[in-house]
Amino acid sequence: LVFRKGSRNAHQCLRKTMQDLIIGLLQFDQAWQNPQENRNRIESALKSQSEADLILIPEMAFTGFSMNAEEHAEDWEKSESISWLKEQSLRHNTAFYTSLLIKCDGRFYNRGVFVSEGNVMAHYDKQHLFAFAGEDAVFESGNNQTIVPFKGWKINVQICFDLRFPEGARNLIRDGNPAYDLLLYVANWPSRRISHWDSLLVARAIENQCYVAAVNRVGVDGNQIEYNGHSCIIAADGSYVEQPVQRKESLVFQTISYNQLSDFRKSLPFLKERKG
């Protein structure tokens, strides 16, 4: 596993503003339908974590992109993986965002969870299910945008195929301010369509005047689909804060600046044309 960080001095200086975030992207090869092994792999990677405010882990973190919900979905009220995430958030003093297979009220969901300080702060059910893999035949789709308040930021949480649908990430002006500042994607996005991933992530940042942080897996899954990562962080002007990380397993950290985002929005205030 390769680890890379931005300037530690820069991180320490920026954190004093209390409105800048250090984001970690954990790009790894998920074990197929093996939650315990994936928890072990994530925990091993996190041994180097000592500074992130928020870490993203790929979609369906504990199984890979499996449609075998009957066997592998975890009960929403007593999920072992969510309990584990809560423990890790306390141990590492960081928040996590990922998704997992969930059973709730007799239905299955590809559910995103935002965990911080030992609690699930918010959850999001994937709205756009990937019919080409049969996801829509197994899971219920969500119907609401989820925005999480975190350390002064407003964070919109999304999952993989949602990226293709800009209406779900539309940033509107509400009470005089943009609805959100940071857009998150966790994914299992195949390498054969990775150019779409790269292009659409940049587009979402530009059109919504927000930071975008996205994590994808690497390796080959149980359906023999190949993934090559390209986890990245993008600024509101479409430039890379963290260049796409290709193919290798990695945990990278970068700082995003709230002041820089605010200044950019003031210099080009087109979001004001959108009303919520």
Rounded Cα distance between 54 and 252, Å, is 12
Report the pLDDT value the prediction gives residue 49, as an integer from 0 to 100. 74
- What are the tens digits of pLDDT across the range 175-213? 889 999 999 999 999 999 999 999 999 999 999 999 999
Rounded Cα distance between 209 and 267, Å, is 11
**DSSP string of the chain, one letter each residue:** -EEEES-HHHHHHHHTTSS-EEEEEEE-BPPTT-HHHHHHHHHHHGGG-SS-SEEE--SSTTT-S---HHHHPEEGGG-HHHHHHHHHHHHHT-EEEEEEEEEETTEEEEEEEEEETTEEEEEEE-SS--GGGTHHHHSPPP----EEEETTEEEEEEEGGGGG-GGGG---EETTEES-SEEEEEE---GGGHHHHHHHHHHHHHHHTSEEEEEE-EEE-TT--EEEEEEEEE-TTS-EEEEEEESS-EEEEEEE-HHHHHHHHHHS-GGGG-B-
pTM: 0.93
Report the pLDDT value the prediction gives residue 48, as an integer from 0 to 100. 75
- What are the tens digits of pLDDT across the range 215-229? 999 999 999 999 999
Burial of 94 (0-12, 13-18, 19+ CB in 10 A): buried
Report the pLDDT value the prediction gives residue 1, as an integer from 0 to 100. 59
**Positions marked catalytic:** 59, 126, 160
% residues pLDDT > 70 (the chain): 92
Closest CA to 219 of 211, 228, 210: 228
Report the pLDDT value the prediction gives residue 51, as an integer from 0 to 100. 83
